[in-house]
Structures are given as C-alpha cells and as structure tokens.
Amino acid sequence: MNMSKRCHAMPFWLVLLLPLWLLSGCARAQVQMPGPGEVEPELGEDHFIAADAYAMPLTRWLPEGEIKQVVLALHGFNDFRQSHLPLARKLSARGSAIYAYDQRGFGATAQRGIWPGQERLVEDARTALALLSQRYPDKPLYLLGESMGAAVSILTTTETEAALSADALTLDGMILMAPAVWAREEQPWYQRLGLWLGIRVAPGMKVDSDWVAVEPTDDPDWAEYWDEHPLVLQRSRIDALEGISLLMSDALAASEKLNINSLVLYGGKDEVVPKEAICALVKRLPEPDDVPWRMAYYPEGWHFLARDSRADETLEDITAWLEDHDGALPSERMIAPADWRQAHCE
C-alpha cells in the first residue's frame, strides 16, 4: 500500500465483473484444506501446532524478570506476527510475556493467501489460549487482537464460551485495537455488490492493495513495512475478502454477548475501519455497568495504533490497563460509551 494518491477502484470492478457474470456460471470460492493429520496441539519455541497438525510460525517475547501476565496477540488481515513488535517490546519490558503466531493463510504459513475459514481462526485462538493457560496456570491471561485479530478475539470469547469453559480456561481480559467490525450493512452498496459479483464470477481473482485508497499509518517506517515486507500480503483474493467481510459481520453480531473485562481502542484517523462500524459496535456492546468494558479514543490515531507516530501514547495506555483495569489511563483518552455515541454517531 503505497503512500501515494490513489482512486477507489470498486466501481471499476463492477464494469469488469457484470458482463462476466452474465456470460458465465457460478465459480467456486476456495477455502483452505485442513492440516495433514491429527496431533496433540503444541506450543513450541517457534511454532504453534494445531490439532490438525497445521504449523503456524510463532514468536514470543519474554520479560527478563518475573512474568506478571501472559498476552496472546492476534494480527490483522494480510499482516503477520511481527506486526506486534512495538507492542511486545513495550509490554515485555513491563513484565508481560507476549505470544504471537501467523494466523492460517497469512505470514509464513502454508496455503498462504487462501482464506482458512473463520471457524479455524477461532479454534486456533482457543487452542493457543488453552495451551498458554496450561503453561502459565497461575498467571493472568489476556487476548489482544488488532483489526481482523480483534474480530477473531470477539468470536473466540463469545461463540466458543462453552469450549473455553470445558478447558477450564479463564481469561482475565481482552484488548481490541481498531476492531474490524465493518459489517455488511454498514458497507457502501458498491462494495457489497462488487463482492457479491466477484465471489460468483472470479473468487480467485486477486486485488492489489494499491486499488484501495486508504493508509493504515502515518509512520513512514511502518508504511514501508506494509508496502514492502515479503510476509505482508500485497494482493487479496476475492474469496478472502468475502471471508473477512463475513468475519466482521459475525464479530459485530457476537459483540452483544461480550462478557469479559475489555479495552476497546480506536483512532480518529483510521481509514480502514470507519467510525460507523465502531458506532455499531458501541451500540451493540453490553452496558459498562453490566460488563466492565472501557473505551479509549485517540483523535490523531491511525488504524495501526501501536505503529503510528503517536504509538507511545497507546502503548502506555495498554500497559496501564493491564496493571489496573479500573485505573485512569496515562493519556486521559478514556471516553464513556454514551459520550462516544453522542459525539460520533447519528
């Protein structure tokens, strides 16, 4: 995604896809095949092995001294585990053990670029949490998700509540950074129509990220990383875009069942997840008096809140919240949900 001016290309898709749809039958979307077998899940030093023997590269950042809490971090769409580097350095320096793996279809995993299905993404997160709980039975355990990772986190803690209970797994909290909850009903008509046509005509067609006129950060180093790192996917299949669209819709719907201590963070300059999506999320989430969730709003923050020019502010807030859920944030960016709705939502 280059830091240059681009035009939105979705209407151009319609020009290309409509005649193809009229002339062809329905094509079939592709979803990843499961792993090569059945094994006992394992969390190694550099790989996370799921129950179907699918291997996901893993990075862990451990503090030099005592571990105060453990955080499983899930990356966003087309990204990979090293996206959490600034966050991990900050948190590990304050006593957190951070674990992050490449989610299926991303980073250095097999079948890269093929959508794995949200059920597998959620099951992987649940399995990794269970393994971390076994490894650190006496330490607070947190789930942190950025963008798509936040959507997976919501589903992991709501739709799989029974499975989490079966594993005797207790989460102490969840952090949702720029959560990808841009449900279909909130998306522009041409985006919905483009995906509707694309998934039926050319699900394997790849869309270059340069076609989308958004920037995730104002930090030039991380913008270059997003544009040029070989493990960041620069092109997305139509069926993968359909998959993330469904994931976002389901995560928004599931958010009303949130039942754990949570921190939601969002930036005013986010060009990836629009405010309308966050308004829909805030309206659906339980009242803070019923479930202790809090929201921090950064007017100058971008989608990559931990990787923009003001990331230190965000990272300090996350660190403070992990140490005291009820305390004030150093940035003083906490905002009451009712105040957010009044200021930013219709």
Q: Please name which of 326, 129, 162, 160 lies closest in space to residue 250, comparing C-alpha atoms.
A: 160
> Residue 169: pLDDT above 80?
no
pLDDT mean over 82-104: 97
**For residues 81 and 109, is the Cβ–Cβ distance under 8 A?**
no
CATH number for the domain spanning 23: value is 3.40.50.1820
Q: What is each CA distance from 276 to 128, 210, 229, 262, in whole angstroms?
A: 32, 23, 31, 20
Q: Examine the pLDDT at 252 and tell me if it is beyond 60.
A: yes
Among candidates 202, 230, 223, 195, which has minimal Cα distance to 112?
Answer: 230
**What integer pLDDT is reported at residue 288 of this predicted model?**
84
Model pLDDT, residue 210: 67
Average pLDDT score over the chain: 88
Q: Is residue 56 one of the residues assigned to a domain?
A: yes
Task: Tell whether 91 is covered by a domain.
Answer: yes
2 belongs to a structural domain: no
Q: If you count them, how many residues does the chain have? A: 346
> Tens digits of per-residue pLDDT, 222-249?
999 998 999 999 999 999 999 999 999 9
What pTM was estimated for this model as a whole?
0.90
* DSSP conformational letter for 210: G
Total domains in the fold of the chain = 1
Over the stretch 180-218, which tens digit does the pLDDT of each residue have? 999 888 887 777 877 777 777 777 788 877 666 789 999
Cα separation, 202 vs 19, whole angstroms: 12
Q: Which domain holds residue 232?
A: 10-344
**pLDDT value of position 126:** 94
Domain membership of residue 4 (yes or no) is: no
pLDDT band at 290 (very low <50, low <70, confident <90, very high): confident
Q: Is 180 exposed, middle or buried (0-12, 13-18, 19+ CB in 10 A)?
A: buried
Q: Residue 162: what pLDDT?
A: 55
- Which residues, at least 6 apart from 226, have a Cβ–Cβ distance to it below 8 Å? 1, 216, 217, 232, 304
5 part of a folded domain: no
